[in-house]
Every structure is written in structure tokens, then in C-alpha cells.
Chain A
Amino acid sequence: MDLVTPGFGLVFWTGLTFIFLLLILKKFAWKPILGAVSDREESIKNALKSAEEARAEMQHLQADNERILKEARAERDLLLKEAREMKANLIEAAKEEAQSQADIIIRQAQASIESEKQAAVADLKNQVAQLSIDIAEKVVKSELSQKDKQFKMVEGLLEDITLK
């Protein structure tokens, strides 16, 4: 039947036209369009990837910051503690120093007081001895000047002594 018999003319022109259409569209339409689409898809993919990377980087940085902050805080605490300890030590040392200094001063004072006292006592002793000698000299002088009394006393003394 006519309807289902391919006519040569149309086969010929369809073939020619299709090849022509295919070549022209391939060069001027499909290549640029598909190229542009795949370029765009590639760039979107890259953009998404770099965004993801940036996010990871951000997270990394944040974690880093956190860590650094924590470390800094710990260090601060340590420093404060050390300072406090140092302060206490210093005060303690100063106190001890003062105490020992005071002790030395007190001891020195005591020693000097003692030696002063000794000197004073010695001086006093000398003066008492001098005075005693002076008094004794005077007494002896006055006693010896009275000759009767001397004889009387010697007689008295001689009477007390009983000769055996």
C-alpha cells in the first residue's frame, strides 16, 4: 500500500536534512549549550565544595580559638596562683627577717645593758673600796692620835689574853 511504502524522495531529503541539521546544531548549539551547562554545574560544584571547606575551616578555627582561650584562662589562673603564693612567701620571709632582726637587736641591747651593768657595778665597787679605805684611813688616823686610849685598849686586850 502507498501509505506504508517509503518514498525515495522524502527518504533522500530527510537523510540530507537530518545530517545537515545534526552537524550545524552540534557545532553551533549543542556544543556551546552543553559546555555552558557543564561549566556552570562544575562551578556550582566547586563553589559548594569550597563553601564546605570554608565551613570546616571555620569550625576548625573556632575549635582552635576555644582551645587557645581555655589555655589562656588556665595560664592566667596559674599565674594568679603563683602570684598569690609568692606574695604569701614574701610576707612570710619578711616577717621572719624582721623577727630575726628584732631578736638580734634585742639580744644586742640585752648584752650592752649587761655590760653597762657590769661596768657600773665594777665602778661602784671601786668607789666603795676607795671610800672604805678613805674612811678607814681617817678612822685609823684619829684613833692613833689618842695615845692613852691606845694604851688602855692594849692593856684591855692584854688582860683578855690569858697566858698559859
Chain B
Amino acid sequence: MGVETLKIKLLAILLMCSFSGFCSENTLDKKEQGEFNPKEMILHHVKDAYGFHLWDWDGHSVSIPLPVLLWVDGELVSFMSSEFHHDSNGEVVVERNGHRFVNYHEKIYQLASGASALAFNEDHYPSNASKPLDISITKNVFMMWISVLVLLLLFITTARKYKQSTQNVPTGIAGFMEPLILFVRDEIAITMIGKHKYKRYMPYLLTIFFFIWINNIFGLIPIINGANLSGNIAFTFTLATFTFIVTTFSGNKNYWKHIFWMPGVPVPMKIFLAPIEVIGMLVKPISLMIRLFANITAGHIIILALMSLIFMFKTIAVAPVSVLFALFIAVIEIIVTAIQAYIFTVLSALYFGMATEEEHH
């Protein structure tokens, strides 16, 4: 037993640490609301945030402040997220360029002129404020850029390894990355698009595969409180849009014919099929967007929900069960990171393959 138990214990401690943030927030919540609200806690952790919250220390939140960028009335308003003093209940008002802003549930609202505090209507929605165009460097954007740095470092180093070697022998990191790159090439691009046309799509497929994978993994790292980038619909929406754009622009005559004038079926059927195919054209990227978002977010929600059990039952006795189940799910999630990146890439490649397929009947 020895080593194995130790490993499990260490993992359990790590997992516990990762949620230390919400443990203390939770105590704060309790003070305010008197009751632990798992839904609020989970949504708070799954969603984006303006600051990069690391941990709580001695009753104070320790976080990396990130820039808030707002486009108001044709001018850019910027300030650091620390100006809100970790408030996300719309209580702290920040005044810049004559505009007043509050952070309500990690959304920035611009108070209507004259208002000095956020007011709510009967549905608990802010009634005297509007959302400005928000291009802040949020936690997710910040993590995305870190992931970009890691990717650049990884692959430019890999590329350099080939240059150093006289016979293109992969050494060091290249030996590790090459099978992955070859996997994308041989199992995804060549299989889905075909030997003759896959080359054009290789940069896109490789980039999207590793970009999604690394962000899936980063979302699981407990210490950085899981910036849930690939489980954010805006992220998956953007990537799915790219796939849609690439598919649409690579579509050849045969592809468009299959959409608007399906060959091999009677004319009434052709007319009937055209709108369905047009919808299908849009549904494909939408399914990509939802699949990645839902899979990653679901994994996060399950782990958080299992952890919430401890606070809902208010007993430490539930902890071993929660930790074990969360560990189990976390291991599955590690597999899911790769699987979802693979599925997104393979389906993108499949759509490109369909768009460039030549007529052969």
C-alpha cells in the first residue's frame, strides 16, 4: 500500500487546496446569507471573472488584478480590476472619465447618469444601469495568453530541435511532440480530408487541437482555480466560427451543389432538402460549440458539486466520499481534455473534407 495511499492522500490534499478559495468565500457567503448556496458557488467558479483570484489569506482575498477595458461613448475607459476591491455584488462604484461602473456578478454595469448606487427591479435585475462594450482582460483572457505563451514555447522549441539535428531526428521535447503532431496529421487530417488536400489545413487543425487541449488542461489545474476558458461559450463560439468560416470558404462546386441542389434525388426532394442542408451547414459549427462548452463545463460542475456536498451536509464525514468521487471525475476529466480536443479537431477536419470532396459518382 505505502506509496499508493500517499499518492491518493496528496491528490486529495491538492484537490482540497484547489477549493480552498471557495471554502473561505463560502464562509463569507454564510455570514451574509446564512446559508451555503452551491448553485451560486458553482456558477461563480465556472464563469469568467475580472480579477485572477488565487487564495484567501487571513480573511483577505489574494488576487492578480487584471485590466478592465470598456468602450464607452466612443472612447476607451480602463482601470485595474482591483479598484472593485473584490466586490462582485455591485456595491463598489468606480468612477472614470465621468462614468460610474459597478461589478455585479462579474459583469460590469455602467450606472445611468445621476445614479450613485445599483438599483434592482423586482426580478433582481439591475434597473438603472446598462452594460457597456466590454473588452476587459479577464481571468480567461489572461489564462488564454499564458496558454499561448506555453504553446509558442513548446512548439518553437520543438521546431528548433529539428533545425539543430542534421538528419531531422526529433530529440528532447520534439520526441514527445512529434507523435502528437503526427497523430493529428495521420489520424485526423489525412483520414478526414484525404492525402491530396490535407496539407492546407494542417496549421489550422494543429493549432486548434493544441489550443483546445492545453486550455482544457489549464482549466483543470486546481492551484489557479481553474480558469474555465474552454468551458466558456464565448471561446467555443469563436473557434466554431473559425471552423465555419474555413469550411465555407473551402467549399467547392460539389459541396454547394450538395447543399442547394442535391444530386441524385427527384426535383421536389431537391427543393425540400435545400433548406435542411442550409440549416445543417449552421448546425455543424453550433454542435461543435455546444459540445466542447458542455463537456468541459459539466466536468467542472460535477467536481464542484461533489465538493459542495461536504458543505451541504455540514460534516467532515462526507469529505472522503466527496474527495474520492471528485478524484475519480478529475481523472476522467483529464482524459476528456484530450478527447474533446480530438473531437473538435476531427469534426472540423471532417467538415473541411466534406467541403473539398470531389464528385465521384
Using a CB–CB cutoff of 8 Å, the interface residues on chain A facing chain B are: 2-15, 17-18, 20-22, 24-26, 28-34, 36-37, 39-40, 43
A33 touches B159 (CB 8 A): yes
Give the interface SS of chain A, mostly helix, strand, loop or mixed: helix
Question: Quick one: which of B144, B181, B241 contacts A17, CB cutoff 8 A?
Answer: B144
**How many angstroms from the CA of A29 to the CA of B158 in the assembled complex?**
7
B207 touches A37 (CB 8 A): no
**Which of B46, B182, B206, B207 gathers most chain A CB within 10 Å?**
B207
Residue of A nearest to B301 (CB): A3
A11 touches B237 (CB 8 A): yes
Q: A14-B235, A33-B158 are in contact. List 5 more A-B contacts (CB 8 A).
A: A7-B234, A10-B238, A28-B152, A37-B168, A43-B168
**1/0 contact string of B136-167 vs chain A (CB within 8 Å):** 11101100110010011001101100110001
**How many angstroms from the CA of A25 to the CA of B150 in the assembled complex?**
12
- Please, could you name 14 A-B residue pairs with CB atoms under 8 Å apart, sorted by A? A2-B105, A3-B46, A9-B69, A10-B234, A21-B148, A24-B152, A25-B206, A26-B203, A28-B152, A28-B155, A28-B156, A30-B155, A30-B207, A36-B159
Could you tell me which residues of chain B, from 1 to 50, have a CB within 8 Å of some CB in chain A? Answer: 43, 46-48
Contacts A22-B204, A33-B158 hold; do A10 and B141 have CB atoms under 8 A apart? yes
Residues of A within 8 A of B297 (CB): 3
Residue of B nearest to A34 (CB): B202
A26 touches B207 (CB 8 A): yes
A40 touches B167 (CB 8 A): yes
A13 touches B144 (CB 8 A): yes
A9 touches B141 (CB 8 A): yes
Q: Is the C-beta of B133 less than 8 angstroms from some C-beta in chain A?
A: yes
B144 touches A37 (CB 8 A): no
**How many angstroms from the CA of A9 to the CA of B66 in the assembled complex?**
14
B234 touches A29 (CB 8 A): no
A25 touches B207 (CB 8 A): yes
B135 touches A39 (CB 8 A): no
Residue of B nearest to A30 (CB): B203
A30 touches B206 (CB 8 A): yes
Distance in Å: Cβ of A4 to nearest Cβ of chain B: 5
Residues of A within 8 A of B169 (CB): 40
Residues of B within 8 A of A4 (CB): 233, 293
A8 touches B233 (CB 8 A): no
Could you tell me which residues of chain B, from 283 to 320, have a CB within 8 Å of some CB in chain A? Answer: 293, 297
Question: Quick one: which of A2, A3, A15, A40 contacts B168, CB cutoff 8 A?
Answer: A40
A9 touches B167 (CB 8 A): no
Residues of A within 8 A of B133 (CB): 8
Q: Is the C-beta of B185 less than 8 angstroms from some C-beta in chain A?
A: yes
B156 touches A10 (CB 8 A): no
Q: Is the C-beta of B87 less than 8 angstroms from some C-beta in chain A?
A: no
**How many angstroms from the CA of A29 to the CA of B178 in the assembled complex?**
12
A13 touches B137 (CB 8 A): yes
Q: Is the C-beta of B232 less than 8 angstroms from some C-beta in chain A?
A: yes
Contacts A5-B233, A40-B168 hold; do A21 and B151 have CB atoms under 8 A apart? yes
Distance in Å: Cβ of B219 to nearest Cβ of chain A: 14
Distance in Å: Cβ of B48 to nearest Cβ of chain A: 6
Q: Is the C-beta of B220 less than 8 angstroms from some C-beta in chain A?
A: no
Contacts A3-B47, A18-B207 hold; do A39 and B168 have CB atoms under 8 A apart? yes
**How many angstroms from the CA of A25 to the CA of B136 in the assembled complex?**
25
B206 touches A18 (CB 8 A): no
**How many angstroms from the CA of A26 to the CA of B206 in the assembled complex?**
9
